[in-house]
Structure 1
Amino acid sequence: MLISQMFKRKPCVFSIECFPPKQTANFEKMKQTLRTMSELHPDFISVTYGAGGSAGGVSTVEVAQYLKQDIGIEPLAHMICMGSDRSKAAELLRQLEAAGVRNVLTLRGDRTPSRPESPDFAHASDLAAFVWKTQPEFDIHAACYPEGHPEAANLREDVANLRFKQEAGASHLLTQLFFDNGHFYRFLNLARREGITLPVSAGVMPIVKRSQIERTVALSSASLPSEFTRMISRYQDDPQSLYAAGIDYAVQQLRDLIEGGADGVHLYAMNDAAVAKAVYEGISDLL
């Protein structure tokens, strides 16, 4: 099923994100995690980019195929510009088509030493346009940033650039994680004023371990509201209490988003089925 159709059938679409294991030996453990997550009735599960093969680990295609064919959950397979070109992108689309996967999230991807700039896709919108032209039956999805992309001059410029993704065939936007819902609502109002009509899923990550704090903030560039920082200050040396407080913070954030009319909510669960289950139990009555 095309994910874009889900937004026409229910008021709030619920999804979860997972990432392929870096070692093939851990795939069986991940399969159990995915089976447990499927019991939470997500509308789709997003699979981050993993090359697999000679690069080692498990590929996005393998995880997406398992979700689609073995569990019956619709996957959203990530594609990135970095380290790719038209030939590699076409081959990935061919593999996804063979696996029965039709939903893709087109991203630029993080710059790393092992991933050179793409000669063909300078921006995620270029990759989206390529997919739209190459595989018009695919459902294309794109990312957005409630606080603006770190490389954008400002939020208004970043939101204006979303028109390129919309015009390139994107049918749905998925946000970077954030901890202050006020940023999401301001972003959404600005996007609608700029003519962005696509449904938007709000991304939330429960912070349940001290080790997540600096790493997550550094990667996401998300600002931290005072309520969140007080929680961290109070419980950072108490793992059990931090876990409970982190779950509760995410639950309250998601409940507000659902009740506030978000088209969808997306849970960055970091392959932790227990966290996903705990959060889901706090919002299931609204879904």
Structure 2
Amino acid sequence: MKIDHILDERKLTVSYEIFPPKQDSAFDSVIACAEELAELDPDFISVTYGAGGGTSANTVKICSHLQSRGVTPLAHLTCLSSTKDHVHRIVDELKDQGIENILALRGDRPKDPDFVAPGDYRYASDLVSDLKTRGEFCIGGACYPEGHPESGHKDRDLANLKTKVDAGCSFLTTQMFFDNNMLYSFLYRAQAAGIRVPILAGIMPVTNGNQLKRMMELSNAYLPPKFLALVDRFGDNNEAMKQAGIAYATEQIIDLVTNGVRGIHIYAMNKPDVIRQIVGNISAILREAR
């Protein structure tokens, strides 16, 4: 089912994100994770796409498995390091498997200082425009409530986001954030900029201290004092940090649902037990809101 149709039918969507294995030997464990998440009644599950398309084959396989399981899949697709021919091959594979939803992403710039992009795509909006010519896909995009790290200015970032939406995005999913006020401010500014598509809130449960360092390399998210105090107090105790991280994410989601966000998208990090605990904490809230 196309995600834009699901958004039309639901007051609130709940979805999860998983990543494919870097090695084929771990494929079964990721499928087991997908199976566990499928039992939690998500509206869809998104599957990431490795840098340069390194895990693209497994992305398609996992999406196909979810489809056969009766769960709507959302296939990530990045373009900066890829030629159009490579992207078109992946798109044809998705089409052959009956997968209708693609999250169109530029992708991170490789750390290799000698990297030169193929030149076929510069921005995610280029990929969105190209995908619109390749079939009847529902296309989603990413957004940064606190501005893309490379944009330099929030107004410029919003203008670029509007270009991406106008190219054909039906919905947007945010990068992680830890202060809900950052999202509410972003939603107001996006509305003022003429962005009318549904925006889903991306939530990252932080369950160990080392995870935070990696996340900060990928995001410029503001860390509120309450969150920093939590990490400082429990970051060296894995069990305590896991409980505290679950509690913090749960509190974030309750506030977001109370204030009428269109969707909750949880970055599962292939840890279905964490998602199960969060969803269990707020099961009645989610049932009422959806």
1:78 is matched with 76
Alignment of 1:158-177 (within 5 A): 158-177=157-176
One-letter amino acid of the counterpart of residue 133, structure 1: T
Whether the aligned pair in 2 keeps the contact of 1:178 and 1:204 (CA below 8 Å) is yes
* 1:77-117 deviation line (CA, Å, top 9, x unaligned): 01111221221111111000111101000101011139742
1:107 is matched with 105
What is the TM-score when the length of structure 1 is the normalising length? 0.95
Going from structure 1 to structure 2, the CA distance change for 1:116 and 1:104 (only over 3 Å counts) comes to farther
Q: Please state how far the C-alpha of 1:134 moved relative to its aligned partner.
A: 2.0
Whether the aligned pair in 1 keeps the contact of 2:121 and 2:127 (CA below 8 Å) is yes
One-letter amino acid of the counterpart of residue 21, structure 2: P
* 1:220-255 deviation line (CA, Å, top 9, x unaligned): 221100110010111122222111110000000011
2:60 is matched with 61
One-letter amino acid of the counterpart of residue 107, structure 2: G
Measure, in 2, the Cα distance between the counterparts of 1:167 and 1:197.
Answer: 10
Whether the aligned pair in 2 keeps the contact of 1:209 and 1:243 (CA below 8 Å) is yes
Measure, in 1, the Cα distance between the counterparts of 2:51 and 2:213.
Answer: 26
Whether the aligned pair in 2 keeps the contact of 1:44 and 1:76 (CA below 8 Å) is yes
Of 243-252 and 110-119, deviating more is 110-119
Measure, in 1, the Cα distance between the counterparts of 2:108 and 2:55.
Answer: 19
2:88 is matched with 90
Of 203-212 and 84-93, deviating more is 84-93
Match of 2:9, SS state, is: coil
Measure, in 2, the Cα distance between the counterparts of 1:276 and 1:252.
Answer: 14
One-letter amino acid of the counterpart of residue 128, structure 2: A
What is the TM-score when the length of structure 2 is the normalising length? 0.94
* 1:55-97 deviation line (CA, Å, top 9, x unaligned): 579521111111112x211111011112212211111110001
Going from structure 1 to structure 2, the CA distance change for 1:3 and 1:116 (only over 3 Å counts) comes to farther
Whether the aligned pair in 1 keeps the contact of 2:250 and 2:278 (CA below 8 Å) is yes
Q: Please state how far the C-alpha of 1:40 moved relative to its aligned partner.
A: 0.8
Measure, in 2, the Cα distance between the counterparts of 1:241 and 1:64.
Answer: 34
2:218 is matched with 219
Whether the aligned pair in 1 keeps the contact of 2:21 and 2:55 (CA below 8 Å) is no
Measure, in 2, the Cα distance between the counterparts of 1:191 and 1:152.
Answer: 15
Whether the aligned pair in 1 keeps the contact of 2:56 and 2:90 (CA below 8 Å) is no
Match of 2:211, SS state, is: helix
Of 153-162 and 143-152, deviating more is 153-162
Going from structure 1 to structure 2, the CA distance change for 1:52 and 1:192 (only over 3 Å counts) comes to closer
Whether the aligned pair in 1 keeps the contact of 2:51 and 2:108 (CA below 8 Å) is no
Q: Please state how far the C-alpha of 1:119 moved relative to its aligned partner.
A: 1.3
Going from structure 1 to structure 2, the CA distance change for 1:57 and 1:2 (only over 3 Å counts) comes to closer
Alignment of 1:258-273 (within 5 A): 258-273=257-272
One-letter amino acid of the counterpart of residue 26, structure 2: N
Match of 2:102, SS state, is: strand
1:37 is matched with 37
How many residue pairs get matched?
284
Going from structure 1 to structure 2, the CA distance change for 1:279 and 1:6 (only over 3 Å counts) comes to same
In the alignment, structure 1 residue 4 sits paired with structure 2 residue 17:
no
**Gaps (5+ residues) in structure 2?**
none
Q: Please state how far the C-alpha of 1:50 moved relative to its aligned partner.
A: 3.5
One-letter amino acid of the counterpart of residue 85, structure 2: S
Whether the aligned pair in 1 keeps the contact of 2:52 and 2:82 (CA below 8 Å) is no
2:229 is matched with 230
Measure, in 1, the Cα distance between the counterparts of 2:75 and 2:90.
Answer: 10
Measure, in 1, the Cα distance between the counterparts of 2:50 and 2:58.
Answer: 5
Measure, in 1, the Cα distance between the counterparts of 2:52 and 2:107.
Answer: 16
One-letter amino acid of the counterpart of residue 43, structure 1: D
Measure, in 2, the Cα distance between the counterparts of 1:26 and 1:115.
Answer: 29
Measure, in 2, the Cα distance between the counterparts of 1:142 and 1:104.
Answer: 9
Runs of 4+ in 1 over 6 A off after TM superposition: none
Alignment of 1:11-30 (within 5 A): 11-30=11-30
